[in-house]
Structure 1
Amino acid sequence: MNRYDEEYKMYVNILHEELMPAMGCTEPIAIAYAAAMARKVLGQLPDRVVIEASDNIIKNVKSVVVPNTGNLKGIKAAAIAGIIAGEADKVLEVISKVSDSEKQQIKEYLSSNDITVNASKSGKIFDIVVNVYCEDSSASVQISHFHTNIVRIIRNNEVIQYDSICDEVNMTVNTDRSKMSVEGILMFVESVNPDDVSKVLDRQINMNYAIAQEGIKNNWGANVGKVLLNGWGKGIKNRARALAAAGSDARMSGCELPVMIVSGSGNQGMTASVPVIEYAKELKVSQDALYRALLVSNLVTIHQKTGIGRLSAYCGAVSAGIGAGAGIAWLQGGRYKEVAHTIVNGLAIVSGIVCDGAKPSCAGKIASAVEAGILGYEMYKNGHQFYGGDGIVVKGVENTIKNVGRLGSIGMRETDQEIIKMMLEN
């Protein structure tokens, strides 16, 4: 594969589309982005706000701290942070700069203004609409299907932007992912020119490792990363999962450090990268080898998520933990056969972990997913594996990935609805 091949260009484009910086959990940040854009279109501070959100957005925003708000949680806090302090041009870093004065304004606005949250009736899994009003003026911004996808802008009842929208699985506005395969990913990894990927990977290394270190150094969330290090020691297998969990400890509890996301998720971005970075440090490999291992991990994660969709009842940390296992296998000399079996073994172990929203316990799920990815490789290295017919595992890595996509996107729909019902009852 050379850099002029269409397949090569496809993988480069996918990588740059998926790896982007975000500060804070991406669902509340998407709300803040829509709200900041609505305020910009309105041209003044609104006196009334109405937010419509799909069930999965409500699920993922309910329990997570919105950064730069003084530990506020929830949809209203995210929207008002975007309205008061958001810079829409920064997209998923929309509220990365909030002054103390603006934090106070956010709290005052929440306590004194008319803010309504309604469940979206669009039927879309990922749907956010922020409507803002001031006297006779109004503006509305809708984001659908993924975090930065503004599909409609309305000012004073006149549509000023409208884009035809796709579904969560077949995101035709982005590079077509249907041609991705584990074999193709590894061919790309072996042939890639580092100049085509180094800039975005350097940002992933620096940002994601920094927040992992912050999670270990200070008290965040349930301190899953610290508990792992204190209870299971500092061997490389444990450090890999502990550091990834620590990044989530910090991020889910409002840490203001940015991360590079993967598949629309900062948790997945950290899970796919931090364990690979830690293994690379342990093995003392070259920067080039680290880049290529991260490409394996990131692209295997994205490949799995393509069939599942952005949001579902299937925990995205599983896909990223298995991706990390694949990257770690590659770092240790594994190629197609070893990577493929690592993926299948890992998916056999942890597929079925449910997503019940963004919150501190995500760190524990990340630790389990990374452990499964590493175990998947260790099993195959020691002559053991799961076989087709073992549950949802079927012969061939692509067939197993397809089954997992079916499980996450179709099989767990009712599970997702029950999870949402339980969360909204509390």
Structure 2
Amino acid sequence: MERTEHYASYVEILKEELIPAMGCTEPIAIALAAAKARQTLGELPVACRVEVSGNIIKNVKAVTVPNTGGLKGIEAATAAGVVAGKADLMLEVLSQVTEQEIAAMAEFLRTTEIAVVPALGDRVFYIRVTVEGGGHSASCEIVDYHTNITCVTRDGQVVFQAEAASGEEKQQTDRSVLSVEEIIRFADCVEIADVAEVIRRQVAYNSAISAEGLKGGWGAEVGKTIRTVYGDSVSIRAKAAAAAGSDARMSGCELPVVIVSGSGNQGMTASLPVIEYARDMGVDEEAMIRALVVSDLVTIHQKTGIGRLSAFCGAVSAGCGAAAGIAYLKGGRYEVVAHTIANALAICSGMICDGAKPSCAAKIAAAVDAGLMGYYMYTTGSHQFVDGEGIIKKGVENTIDNVGRLAREGMRRTDEEILHIMVGQ
């Protein structure tokens, strides 16, 4: 089959997006900045200053940082990065922590001043960690997305500088080439060898943490509750699998995940329901990989217009993406996938993001349910929400654009108010 126009870009987008991370990505990004600052300082600091944007505060406040002995929050993420972080491992910065280092983190938190300061300016994603010790100082700045280190200094002198663009799209492959129609054609024609490594890793990592979550004992046990109460149909298993992965991850499970759009929760939501359906249908690996390509790229396409962090719950985009992948897996192509997406977005767009924490698992289950509802509505009777009904517009790209506008512009004030509520203002 002939390759699509933007074939190479689509392959690169998947490679850029589907990367491993241990722990919720916002605290891990703080740990990365702290580890890089400490590495540059060359010794254990005696004081730390952490400047972060409001969305970082929101997404770090209530989530457990892995390999810390159950610690939560910005100070914990900073201490973990300083004491035990391996900056060269990027989003797996805390993957090689020892028991002795966990004890050292607690001592560091007890004896070291860590000042947390809201960052000035209007950047949604901003982290700057400054450390002091031995008469010297060092800092590391991360802007726009989780691994985008833009500035490293020592004693006020820049030792590394990269341009902080107005958005990550200028740093990476242009996401504006994505469209639902071409995503479907790309999935049809992609050489499996071009995407197999990243997709197989996504299947392996995310399946493992989901299985751990389903054992129970993590978070609010949303995934396990779904299976216990609602039965064993494939649609129930699909919701439970994604929720269980979040149960474990939000509560400090030390297994890595493969993220999508900078989020482990979105990575699990986009992949695990598709994997569950593929296994239930007994399809071969190639069919599952092609369906996961659809799910991942549809999720990324939606998030491009929304941005990495906002008041709009990213699980909505990923649940919609998962339903698109399931529709493709079941033989649907552009018409079915497009109506699945539009229906799903009509159902639960506007679900708020009030930070990373155990309730994310329940939101994931709701988002996957909305996606499946959108798919089954259309395939069991061509039922659809149509142009002029709320934010739905004729043409799936127009609806996706409207949701991006809603999340990016319309919910900006909502985001501010969520943060005020969370910090008690």
TM-score range, shorter chain: over 0.9
Please, which moves more after superposition, 159-168 or 148-157? 159-168
Contact 1:36 1:83 (C-alpha < 8 Å) held by counterparts: yes
Structure 1 residue 98, shift from structure 2 partner: 1.0
Counterpart residue number, 2:140? 141
Match of 2:325 among 324, 327, 334: 327
Structure 1 residue 167, shift from structure 2 partner: 2.6
Equivalent residues in 2 for 1:300-339, closer than 5 Å: 300-339=298-337
What letter corresponds to residue 342 of structure 1 in structure 2? T
Structure 1 residue 330, shift from structure 2 partner: 0.5
What letter corresponds to residue 44 of structure 1 in structure 2? E
Q: Give the whole-Å Cα distance in 2 for the aligned partners of 1:2 and 1:313.
A: 40
Match of 1:228 among 212, 226, 229: 226
TM-score (norm 2): 0.98
Report SS of the residue matched to 2:279.
Answer: helix
In the alignment, is residue 409 of structure 1 matched against residue 403 of structure 2?
no
Report SS of the residue matched to 2:95.
Answer: coil
Q: Deviations over 1:95-124 (max 9, x none)?
A: 011111100000000011111110001321
Contact 2:298 2:324 (C-alpha < 8 Å) held by counterparts: yes
What letter corresponds to residue 304 of structure 2 in structure 1? T
Match of 2:286 among 285, 288, 295: 288
Q: Deviations over 1:4-41 (max 9, x none)?
A: x6500010000000000000000000000011111111
Q: Give the whole-Å Cα distance in 2 for the aligned partners of 1:111 and 1:44.
A: 18
Equivalent residues in 2 for 1:331-350, closer than 5 Å: 331-350=329-348
Counterpart residue number, 2:173? 175
Counterpart residue number, 1:369? 367
Report SS of the residue matched to 1:276.
Answer: helix
How large is the RMSD of aligned CA atoms in angstroms?
A: 1.0
Q: Give the whole-Å Cα distance in 1 for the aligned partners of 2:389 and 2:359.
A: 29
Q: Give the whole-Å Cα distance in 2 for the aligned partners of 1:167 and 1:373.
A: 32
Structure 1 residue 2, shift from structure 2 partner: 4.5
Counterpart residue number, 1:20? 19
Counterpart residue number, 1:159? 158
Counterpart residue number, 1:92? 91
**Runs of at least 5 residues in structure 2 that lack an aligned partner in the other structure:** none
Contact 2:216 2:224 (C-alpha < 8 Å) held by counterparts: no
Between the two proteins, the alignment pairs up a number of residues equal to 424
Counterpart residue number, 1:44? 43
Contact 1:131 1:140 (C-alpha < 8 Å) held by counterparts: yes
Equivalent residues in 2 for 1:274-285, closer than 5 Å: 274-285=272-283
Structure 1 residue 163, shift from structure 2 partner: 1.6
Contact 1:211 1:250 (C-alpha < 8 Å) held by counterparts: yes
Counterpart residue number, 1:268? 266
Contact 1:152 1:161 (C-alpha < 8 Å) held by counterparts: yes
Contact 1:2 1:192 (C-alpha < 8 Å) held by counterparts: no
TM-score (norm 1): 0.98
Report SS of the residue matched to 1:178.
Answer: helix
In the alignment, is residue 194 of structure 1 matched against residue 192 of structure 2?
yes
Q: Give the whole-Å Cα distance in 1 for the aligned partners of 2:107 and 2:368.
A: 42
Report SS of the residue matched to 1:167.
Answer: coil
Equivalent residues in 2 for 1:236-255, closer than 5 Å: 236-255=234-253
Counterpart residue number, 1:30? 29
Structure 1 residue 165, shift from structure 2 partner: 1.2
Equivalent residues in 2 for 1:113-128, closer than 5 Å: 113-128=112-127
What letter corresponds to residue 400 of structure 1 in structure 2? T
Q: Deviations over 1:133-191 (max 9, x none)?
A: 013211010000000000111111101222221234x5201000112100010111111
Counterpart residue number, 1:106? 105
What letter corresponds to residue 396 of structure 1 in structure 2? G
Q: Deviations over 1:215-259 (max 9, x none)?
A: 001310000001111111010011000110000000000000000
Q: Give the whole-Å Cα distance in 2 for the aligned partners of 1:319 and 1:32.
A: 27
Identity across matched positions, percent: 58
Q: Give the whole-Å Cα distance in 2 for the aligned partners of 1:171 and 1:338.
A: 29
**Runs of at least 5 residues in structure 1 that lack an aligned partner in the other structure:** none
Contact 1:2 1:8 (C-alpha < 8 Å) held by counterparts: no
